Amino acid sequence: MKVFNTSQIRQCDQYTVENDEISSIELMEKAALACFEWIKSQFSANYTYYVFCGKGNNGGDGLAIARLLLEENYKVETFVIQSSSNFSTDAQINFDKYPDSVSFLENDDFEIQQENKKIVIIDALFGTGLNKPLEGNTQKIIQKLNHIKGKKISIDIPSGLFSDSLPSEDQTIFKADVTLSFQFYKRAFLHVESAQYAGKIFILDIGLNSKFIQDEETNNYIISSKSVSDNFKPRDPFSHKGNYGKVALIGGSYGKIGSISLSTRAALKIGAGIVFTIAPNCGYSILQTLAPEAMFISGGDEKLITEIKISTEKTTIGIGPGLGKEKLTKVALEELLKSIQTPAVLDADALNIISENKSMLNLIPKNSIITPHPVEFARLFGDSKDSLEQCELAREMAKKYNIIIVLKGHRTAVLTPEGKCYYNITGNAGMAKGGSGDILTGMITGLLAQGYSPQIAAQLGVYIHGKAGDYAAKKYSQEAMTAQDIIHRLPEVFLNIKK
């Protein structure tokens, strides 16, 4: 699913009006109707709706939503910000159509009866047309709204937030519980510094022109359930284990055998045919017990990996979880990287070792997948001022080193050598725990071994990992779920991938 910037969204809007049998006012009505239907499905008529509108098209949406609510006898109070600018053409039409009186706000002296707990505040002050950070009265109004208790819904985007950039710390922005956004994810919804204002995001289809959407180019995408099912390869009834690849997960050190056992189990559970684990000897009994389906290969020493003895030709390597950074382990990693020609997966301490010896970056085989979290990424490639800047740096590094970077976080991003960014929107805060990353490494390695291209293995891996995490949270709660529960919920994910 494509992510467009504000100017592309505006062009899409315009293209739709010019090429489809729909006028801009009809499009606004369609957008308002989609919001109204969503609101109706979530809240009863016992709520009082306070609708705050600007004078642009976002305000026009708000006025239309307020009218639709009134027509179905919901209790509605509508406010319009008084300003020197005129209503946009379509907002004016909706203002004229509004059947009740509205209150014009010159400052923040409006009253909302808070003893009535059933309050919904609808923010239709500013949308994608915001041209500078809010100040003066609009700033005061939003600050006051942010202190009022009630359900808060932003239309299209929280007022005060820019679609394509991140806010400064002192910027005033409406804090929504829910954002009902039209047709597309905005880039701001995909970065933690701005996404926190949007709450839960629902994308409402307002039928913008599909040819424009198909033809318009972008470098940013969401990994959709459709792209997952389109790329998913069901197992062939006539196949044997050799058809599903040979994996070697390499990692673990004394006290960190758990990491590589989680990766091993994840690779098995994601469908890999044959799985080896290369770990220090202290991991032997643990691994043979926790993952009896996998074969153990000694890493050479009791407590750390000092040698990696595997033919790398037909084996897909995943290296890093629990590996440690001992000198001999570093040498073993360097030797391994020099010997592999095919894409591998590198995570955790494998990346930390490389960050201390940056020339090793050039040894990473072309089209390999690295899976750093933001701190590991910064160690490798330097600091960034925020997550958007880090994402852009990752895009450059993916191109420079010809690798796929899985930048883990609230919304994990997969950056490709072609400069594309694929955001993952599955997953939840229950996964922000030790072990989750080890599992992701095992999953991506297992998918790569099964013949998925590195880019698709990375995209499927992050999507499936997040989705299994969502099933785990549903069953055990975000608090009580542990990383292992992500592995346990994989069956639900596979059973629900539509083919």
Ligand X SMILES: NC(=O)C1=CN([C@@H]2O[C@H](COP(=O)(O)OP(=O)(O)OC[C@H]3O[C@@H](n4cnc5c(N)ncnc54)[C@H](O)[C@@H]3O)[C@@H](O)[C@H]2O)[C@H](O)CC1
Tokens of 465: 């990992």
From K ion, ligand X, none, which one binds at residue 123 (CB under 5 to 8 Å depending on kind)?
K ion
Comparison of 185 and 463: residue with beta carbon closer to ligand X: 185
CA distance 367 to 396: 14
Tokens of 366: 């072309």
Among 61, 123, 301, 349, binds K ion (CB under 5 A): 123
From K ion, ligand X, none, which one binds at residue 159 (CB under 5 to 8 Å depending on kind)?
K ion
From K ion, ligand X, none, which one binds at residue 131 (CB under 5 to 8 Å depending on kind)?
ligand X
Residue 123, marked binder:
yes
Number of residues written out for the chain: 499
β partners of residue 236: none
Residue 412, marked binder:
yes
Residue 159, marked binder:
yes
Q: Does 376 bind K ion (CB under 5 A)?
A: no
Tokens of 411: 């919304």
CA distance 385 to 398: 19
Comparison of 90 and 438: residue with beta carbon closer to ligand X: 90
From K ion, ligand X, none, which one binds at residue 63 (CB under 5 to 8 Å depending on kind)?
none
Residue 205 neighbours by CB distance under 10 Å: 9
**Phi and psi, residue 239, nearest 5°:** -85, 170
From ligand X, K ion, none, which one binds at residue 54 (CB under 5 to 8 Å depending on kind)?
ligand X
Q: How far is the CB of 202 from ligand X (least distance, A)?
A: 14
From ligand X, K ion, none, which one binds at residue 138 (CB under 5 to 8 Å depending on kind)?
ligand X
Residue 240, marked binder:
no
Q: How far is the CB of 61 from K ion (least distance, A)?
A: 8
Residue 10, marked binder:
no
From ligand X, K ion, none, which one binds at residue 132 (CB under 5 to 8 Å depending on kind)?
ligand X
From ligand X, K ion, none, which one binds at residue 88 (CB under 5 to 8 Å depending on kind)?
ligand X
Q: How far is the CB of 22 from K ion (least distance, A)?
A: 22
Candidates 3-11, 93-101, 116-124, 323-331; binding stretch for K ion (CB under 5 A): 116-124
Question: Which of 300, 248, 305, 235 has the alpha carbon at shortest distance from 446?
Answer: 248
Residue 59, marked binder:
yes
Residue 58, marked binder:
yes
Residue 57, marked binder:
yes
Candidates 86-94, 119-127, 342-350, 353-361; binding stretch for K ion (CB under 5 A): 119-127
Residue 424, marked binder:
no
Comparison of 123 and 485: residue with beta carbon closer to K ion: 123
Binding mask 127-166 for K ion (x = CB under 5 A): ---------------------------xx---x-------
Q: Does 179 bind K ion (CB under 5 A)?
A: no
β partners of residue 278: 250, 297
Comparison of 129 and 300: residue with beta carbon closer to K ion: 129
Q: How far is the CB of 187 from ligand X (least distance, A)?
A: 14
Residue 156, marked binder:
yes
Residues that bind ligand X (CB under 6 A): 9, 13, 27-28, 31, 54-61, 85, 88, 126-132, 134, 138, 155-156, 182, 208
**Annotation: binding site for AMP:** 408-412, 437
**Annotation: binding site for K(+):** 58, 123, 159
**Annotation: binding site:** 57-61, 123, 127-133, 156, 159, 322, 373, 408-412, 437-438
Residues contributing to the site for K ion (CB under 5 A): 123, 154-155, 159
